[in-house]
Amino acid sequence: MKYVYIIVSLVLAAAPAMAQTPVYLDETRPVGERIEDALGRMTLEEKIAVIHARSKFSSPGVARLGIPEIWTTDGPHGIRPEVLWDEWDQAGWTNDSCVAFPALTCLAATWDEEMAALYGKSLGEEARYRKKDMVLGPGVNIYRTPLNGRNFEYMGEDPYLSARMVVPYIRGVQSNGVATCVKHFALNNHETNRHNTNVIVDDRTLYEIYLPAFKAAVQEGGTWAIMGSYNLYKDRHCCHNAHTLNDILRGEWGFDGVVVSDWGGTHDTDQAIHDGLDMEFGSWTDGLKGGYRNAYDSYYLAYPYLERIRSGEVGTEELDEKVRRVLRLMYRTVMDRNRPLGSMCSEAHYAAARRIGGEGIVLLKNDGGVLPVDMDHARKILVVGENAVKMMTVGGGSSSLKVQREISPLEGIRERAGEGVSVVYERGYVGDVTGEYNGVTTGQDLSESRSADQLIADAVEQARDADYVIFVGGLNKSAHQDCEDSDRVSLGLPYGQDKVIEALAAVNDRLVVVNISGNAVSMPWVSDVPAIVQAWYIGSEAGHAIADVLSGDVNPSGKLPFTFPARLEDVPAHIFGEYTGVPSRDTVDIEYKDGIYVGYRWTDLQKKTRPLFAFGHGLSYTTFEYGEPVLDKTLMSRDGSVTVSVVVTNTGTREGQEVVQMYVGDRKSSLPRPLKELKGFEKIRLAPGESRTVSFTVGTDDLSFFDPDRHEWVAEPGKFDIYIAAASDDVRGKVTFELE
């Protein structure tokens, strides 16, 4: 009887306790209710705390309520190593080495949404395992000038291509319960004066060129965070810019995530309160040591905001809205108890990095079939160039990584070469022998005592009797060579590489130039070199991916995501004189006078100047033949669509992949329009002799331009051309239809 009494009492005691699970912790309740419940429990001070950082990369949760802190990390190519709480120096962990995935230019060059999904999923798993809740990336700023030091972190010059590639990346990362923070919103298209450049751009250009990838990231990718950029637009910094953040991002696109400031991108408490910012990061870097109270409390959205509320200067309405959004982020990430656990440095991640790298490498030129290199039977292969041995994952700014391993091109080639093949290495030139970023060092000794002339002479000597000469050079993520916070100073290759290449070309006609960069470079020797490969910053598996393509184990299938101009003077951002590259302390107005004519949109207008290599260009070891494109109808109703189909055949002897590109051009319109714009692409794999029909459906959206007066997208009736192309300068067929 006594036991029965105890059991009954226990049950009665437990019942109300179970019923009392607070709403904010109750996973059966809708998130909106949980957010309101949590908000209602938070003190003013707790609310202020969650909207700004309290270390270099984290913001506090609500400890009293058991809501965890949020940890962010760079991004976008791998998970950044741990730094100290308040400093950029390394924390000295020994378990924070990652897999470096190929840079985003390489991902864009795959033109393959499946690769973007694989990338996002793998990176998200690494982030999750390292207990990071937000990846600071991907970047989708448009490639406007080849001098931009951060182009390697972005996805090229075309809004459609960037939009298509960013969506699966976001979904992949976020499927791990880790947020993406798409950056840098908006108009951050070069680095010099990045904090004080005020961009002047017309609405049409803004909507047609610079915003579509961000819009897709929000509306199709469903990104949970966006990072405001450092620069100004309409005289306001983009981290608190009512026009871009309140009107466009939230008003027009319905973004329900958080706006995160770039590190140190916040400048004003009142603007931060009212003009769209939710979470402030990185404003002062002396952390707990400096300033009044401590520095994190001195953030614009910390004590100064609290004071304004306490004094009655501002209400709490804006604060509650910010906290609601931060709580929503928390429910999507740290409060999601079911999110996967992630994994790190797994063989699957290395395989993904190698595959994406192999698919992104672009074969620019291959005269006389020099490539693929016969790595099984060649007698002697000479490899020349610093980039054949230099680690490329350290450097470049915030995207710098500490990798578990990185295979250099030379190692990749050596590993792949057959037993009897002698692989000889010569330096050729000296670039940057340092290898350090924020305390991560490559540990490589690249010191060299020979003179520049001697290095060339030694390489030439070895080149004379080599079956193949593979020159691996390019840029290297040092300051001004593809690096955050500095732009390049010229289009040319640095460190006298042109001279080395010319000397090698003079003595050996089986010369392959492998250019490693995230940017276009000029190639004055282009007609003297039979084979040229664009190889990007590929990360941990660089050497394997490069050897895969050079040897023919992987048939190249990448296509350029941006134009390689022949000269800097051919780039509209430079022609119209609105890129100065001159550092300034004052605000610098930069007017985008090139308007919508960025990249191939400009090339198509030109009669005489041709680029070195066009947007969309990329060769294969096999050949593809395109049939005549066929339309299902020639008259399209206003809310209808047309479908164009084309048969593509592999006419060579190897299996290969081709990116079939579809561009649309408006014959006549009330506003000037580019000759053609990319509106579809598909990557297909074909066995020798195999044919496949590729179809694209074109709807009114694909025909529209942004009418700045009406502030809407407009498709005008009339004739439109559809171009089926293997590159923007290699149109294989054209059909025409009319929009009613």
**Least distance (Å) between residue 282 CB and ligand BGC:** 6
Query: What backbone phi and psi angles, to 5 degrees, belong to 737?
Result: -140, 170
Distance CA 726, CA 733 (A): 10
User: With contact defined as beta carbons under 8 Å apart, do 440 and 402 qualify?
Assistant: yes
Cα gap 97→486, rounded to integer Å? 26
Quote the least distance from Cβ 79 to ligand BGC, whole Å.
Answer: 12
- Is 730 a catalytic site residue? no
Q: Give the residue with the Cβ less far from ligand BGC, 136 or 686.
A: 136
Task: Work out how close the CB of 140 gets to ligand BGC at its nearest, in angstroms, rounded to a whole number.
Answer: 12
Nearer to ligand BGC, 137 or 412 (CB): 137
Q: In angstroms, what is the minimal distance from the CB of 397 to ligand BGC?
A: 7
- 151 contacts 188 by C-beta, under 8 angstroms: no
Distance between CA atoms of residues 500 and 412, nearest Å: 22
Nearest residue to 683 (alpha-carbon basis) of 618, 605, 635: 618
Q: Which is nearer to ligand BGC, 265 or 409 (CB)?
A: 265
Q: Which is nearer to ligand BGC, 258 or 521 (CB)?
A: 258
- What are the DSSP calls for 60-75, one per residue? --BGGGTBPPEEEE--
| Interactions with ligand BGC, residue window 389-408 (CB under 6 A) | 398
Residue 203: its H or E element: helix 203-205
User: Does the footprint of ligand BGC cover residue 563 (CB under 6 A)?
Assistant: no
Q: How far is the CB of 195 from ligand BGC (least distance, A)?
A: 10
Distance CA 228, CA 250 (A): 13
Closest CB 396 distance from ligand BGC, rounded Å: 11
Binding mask 68-107 for ligand BGC (x = CB under 6 A): ------xx--------------------------------
Strand spans (E) along 416-569: 422-426, 436-437, 440-441, 468-474, 511-516, 531-534
Residue 424 CB: number of other CB atoms within 10 A?
Answer: 14
Q: Which is nearer to ligand BGC, 262 or 280 (CB)?
A: 262
User: Least CB distance from residue 75 to ligand BGC, whole Å?
Assistant: 6
Beta bridge partners, 660, equal: 682
DSSP secondary structure string for all residues of 566-579:
SSGGGSHHHHTT--
Residues 166-205 that bind ligand BGC (CB under 6 A): 183
Q: How far apart are CA 654 and CA 549, in angstroms?
A: 13
The residues, any chain, with a CB within 8 Å of residue 139's CB and separated by 6 or more, are 76, 104, 150, 153, 154, 155, 182, 183, 184
Nearer to ligand BGC, 74 or 487 (CB): 74
Q: How far apart are CA 138 and CA 227, in angstroms?
A: 10
Kindly state the smallest distance separating residue 534's Cβ from ligand BGC, in Å: 24
Asked if 677 is part of the footprint of ligand BGC (rule: CB under 6 A), the reply reads: no
Residue closer to ligand BGC by CB (options 329, 421) is 329
Rounded to a whole number of angstroms, the distance between the first and last alpha carbons of the chain is: 87
Site string for ligand BGC, 15-54 (x = CB under 6 A): ----------------------------------------
Question: Counting beta carbons within 10 angstroms of the beta carbon of residue 608, is it exposed (0 to 12), middle (13 to 18) or buried (19 or more)?
Answer: exposed
**Is 531 in a helix, a strand, or coil?**
strand
Contact between 303 and ligand BGC by CB under 6 A: the answer reads: no
Please pick, from the candidates 262, 498, 578, 702, the single residue that binds ligand BGC as defined by CB under 6 A. Answer: 262
Peptide bond into 138 cis (omega under 30): yes
Catalytic residue among 86, 262, 487, 548: 262
Can you tell me the distance from the alpha carbon of 496 to that of 452, in angstroms, rounded to the nearest whole number? 8
Residue with Cβ nearer ligand BGC (133 or 677): 133
For ligand BGC, which residue of 263, 471, 626, 706 counts as binding (CB under 6 A)?
263
> 320: how many CB neighbours lie within 10 A of its CB?
15
Number of residues in contact with ligand BGC under rule CB under 6 A = 7
- Residue 136 touches ligand BGC, criterion: CB under 6 A: yes
The site for ligand BGC (CB under 6 A) is made up of 74-75, 136, 183, 262-263, 398
Query: Active-site positions?
Result: 262
